[in-house]
Structure 1
């Protein structure tokens, strides 16, 4: 069993509902044995335009390998109408494999740890909800979050 972390985001349609449905689909997937979801957060798009995002992170325990998990995440995105017309396009649903245990993978399909997660408050803040003592290769979450304090990330009151 592997502890993995998945970033969830959406800024088209009912983003909050899309994240909740995606988390439920992920939890019901064969090979996913446990899921914990962070609080939901609102953030402005980074390096893009469009409406604000709703973001979260899910911690899962899985028996899937990283590539199988990636394909499953892409399937959930596809079922939610995810289109990829251009880089940083607005999204009905975006699921990113952030961490897969202690593994480092860098091939044509997958890079984990996610290469930009340490620069994104919308990933670090919900990740800190689930694993406040987690240390990334770039440093402690609290230090990395401090470096991103110019990025506005606001918790949603209820979900």
Structure 2
């Protein structure tokens, strides 16, 4: 199977519904999904806070570019408009890792080149996979260590909410 770790986020419109659209569309391919977190925007653009989550999905028929196509289709279905880098968005679906594949293709950088700097990615990822590791510049470290390397300000900007994203595999 090709396991992908997807970071999903939204701060435009019904953000929870946008996040839920991802788990709903992926259906039984969802292996795990984190709680929903609230996070301060990253990148310096003035905007409201985001809702974020991590989705781990498996599909033996999908490779990295297939997952990229899925991500772009999900964003399009949520009326994602790309106006300003790091600006507000209805839905952002980033591929953080895909199996153990590395890619320097500008269309699909794997692992995600800034994931290790973003608490809104690392904190929910650690929740669903405490044994996860992330390789950056040839150095593989546990996700928990990457979190510890972040500034207190970066970590303090991420808060677990009471919201959850139910999937077809959920019992609740």
Aligned-partner Cα distance in 2 for 1:110–1:67: 7
User: Under a length normalisation based on structure 1, what TM-score does the superposition of the two structures give?
Assistant: 0.92
Shift of 1:76: 0.9
| Offset at residue 112 of structure 1 (A) | 0.8
Work out whether residues 9 and 95 of structure 1, in 8 Å CA contact, stay in contact via their aligned partners in 2. yes
The question of whether the paired residues in 1 share the 8 Å contact of 2:30 and 2:55 is answered with no
Partner Cα distance (1:20, 1:34) in 2: 12
Cα distance in 2 for partners of 1:142, 1:72 equals 28
The match for 1:124 is 122
Alpha-carbon RMSD: 1.3
Q: Does 1:27 align with 2:27?
A: yes
Aligned to 1:154: 159
Aligned to 2:57: 60
The match for 2:168 is: none
Structure 1 residues without counterparts, runs of 5 or longer: none
Q: 1:83 aligns with which of 76, 81, 84?
A: 81
Q: Do the aligned residues in 2 keep the contact of 1:27 with 1:35 (CA within 8 Å)?
A: no
Q: What stretches of structure 1 move > 4 A for 4+ residues in a row?
A: none
How far residue 12 of structure 1 moved from its aligned partner, in angstroms, is: 0.7
Q: Does 1:93 align with 2:71?
A: no
Q: Secondary structure at the match of 2:153?
A: coil
CA shift, 1:26, in A, is 2.2
Query: Partners of 1:86 and 1:109 in 2: how far apart?
Result: 18
Q: Distance in 1 between matches of 2:26 and 2:30?
A: 10
